[in-house]
Amino acid sequence: MLEPESEADLARMVRDATGPLEVRGGGTRAPLAGGDLTTRRMSGIVLYEPGALTMVARAGTPMVEIEDALTREGQRLAFEPWDSRRVLGRDGTPTLGGCVATNASGPRRMVAGAARDSVIGVRFVDGDGAVIKNGGRVMKNVTGIDLTKLMCGSRGRLGILTEIGLKLLPGVAATATLRAHGLDPAGAVAAMSAALGTPFEVTGAVHEPQLGTMLRIEGSETSVAYRAERLRHALAAYGEWQLEGDVSWTDLRDATGFAAPSDDLWRISVRPSHAAQLVAGLPGRWMMDWGGGLIWAEAPAGTDLRALMGLPGHATLIRADPETHAALGTIHPGSDAVERLTRDIAARFDPRGIFAGAVPA
């Protein structure tokens, strides 16, 4: 396994490569024992300016190191990246590079954006071993073509991320959850949409048949208490809402209810107003996040949930055996034009196919 310690090392290794490289960060998603190259030694926070809400860190930096540094300054990541280890039944160390390469996000995504919305700059090594930078360390920057966005979620297909600039969010003093039980899917989505249409800044909206419908409110103690009360009133028509302090939004973020690795697991992105219709046709257990915009769905091994969708949106296969991944494709295929553009971009950034094993294109 190649373990470059610097960007220059990495660039040389890619230039020297004669065939495809399987690249991993902390090994949470890549095959357990496999991989030709890891970024884990290119680690560390390069720059952290709490007063500017910005940070720059190397791609191999463990997420826990970043989150610890932020916590010490009372700050956090806006996009609340989910940790795939529980549902995948894996260990390993989630890294910033992996998080950005998969455009990870959690419940706050619906209001604060995904990883791509918080990433303000990247450095990466392309398939020819060239070191390319884009964006930087400031949060308002429209200089040139936005390759930073292109790299987010590109799953290693165009190059290996080495350094990432992030925009941050202040932390909060208090978090509370309003919960109602017994809502059907349509009622739950209606309640969540109504809540998200109020000015009371709901930052989490999850519905699961057993757990109920949950709305997260974050802020100062007095502000949370005030908004919870206003929301409870505003949503009275939808159900009986209780204020709870002990709901684990980390467990909801990581979909730990789907941890038992028996069935396939999908993440489906649709319009919230289509969510109830979608879950009515699902063959297994499901949970709504993002106010209905994200649906976690279990399905018997090998089931093609995309064929069942029949709605605009997309479905990502999160957990399945390698044969199912190969047969159905991990990510939702695009239109012919999108597929062509994707292939052509990959061919320009990686003409030798060094990263051809990565998922898109």
- By CB under 8 A, the residues from 256 to 285 that bind other proteins are 269-273
In the bound state with other proteins, the residue whose beta carbon lies nearer, of 260 and 338, is: 338
In the bound state with other proteins, the residue whose beta carbon lies nearer, of 27 and 185, is: 185
Partners of residue 313 on adjacent β-strands:
270
Binding status of residue 70 toward other proteins by CB under 8 A: no
In the bound state with other proteins, the residue whose beta carbon lies nearer, of 37 and 168, is: 168
178: which 2 tokens? 């309003």
Q: Rounded to the nearest whole angstrom, what is the least distance from the CB of residue 282 to other proteins in the complex?
A: 16
Per-residue x/- mask for other proteins, residues 205 to 244, rule CB under 8 A? --------------xx-xx--xx-----------------
* Residue from 171, 283, 300, 353 binding other proteins (CB under 8 A): 171
Listed as own residue / partner, the contacts of 344-353 with beta carbons closer than 8 Å and 24 or more positions apart are 345/150, 345/158, 346/157, 346/158, 349/126, 349/127, 349/158, 349/159, 350/126, 350/127, 350/128, 350/157, 350/158, 350/159, 351/127, 351/128, 352/17, 352/127, 352/128, 353/20, 353/127
Which range of residues in 1-9, 57-65, 253-261, 313-321 is near other proteins by CB under 8 A?
A: 313-321
Spatial distance between the Cα atoms of 321 and 316, rounded to a whole number of angstroms = 14
Q: Which of residues 10-39 bind other proteins (CB under 8 A)?
A: none
Contact 216, 107 (CB under 8 A): yes
* Residue from 15, 41, 179, 314 binding other proteins (CB under 8 A): 314
Q: Rounded to the nearest whole angstrom, what is the least distance from the CB of residue 214 to other proteins in the complex?
A: 19
Binding status of residue 5 toward other proteins by CB under 8 A: no
- Residues written for the chain: 361
298: nearest Cα among 309, 313, 287, 312: 287
Binding status of residue 190 toward other proteins by CB under 8 A: yes
Binding status of residue 338 toward other proteins by CB under 8 A: yes
Spatial distance between the Cα atoms of 80 and 66, rounded to a whole number of angstroms = 12
Contact 59, 39 (CB under 8 A): yes
Spatial distance between the Cα atoms of 102 and 120, rounded to a whole number of angstroms = 16
Binding status of residue 348 toward other proteins by CB under 8 A: yes
Q: Which of residues 108-167 bind other proteins (CB under 8 A)?
A: 109-110, 113-114, 116-117, 126, 130-134, 136-147, 149-150, 152-154, 157-158
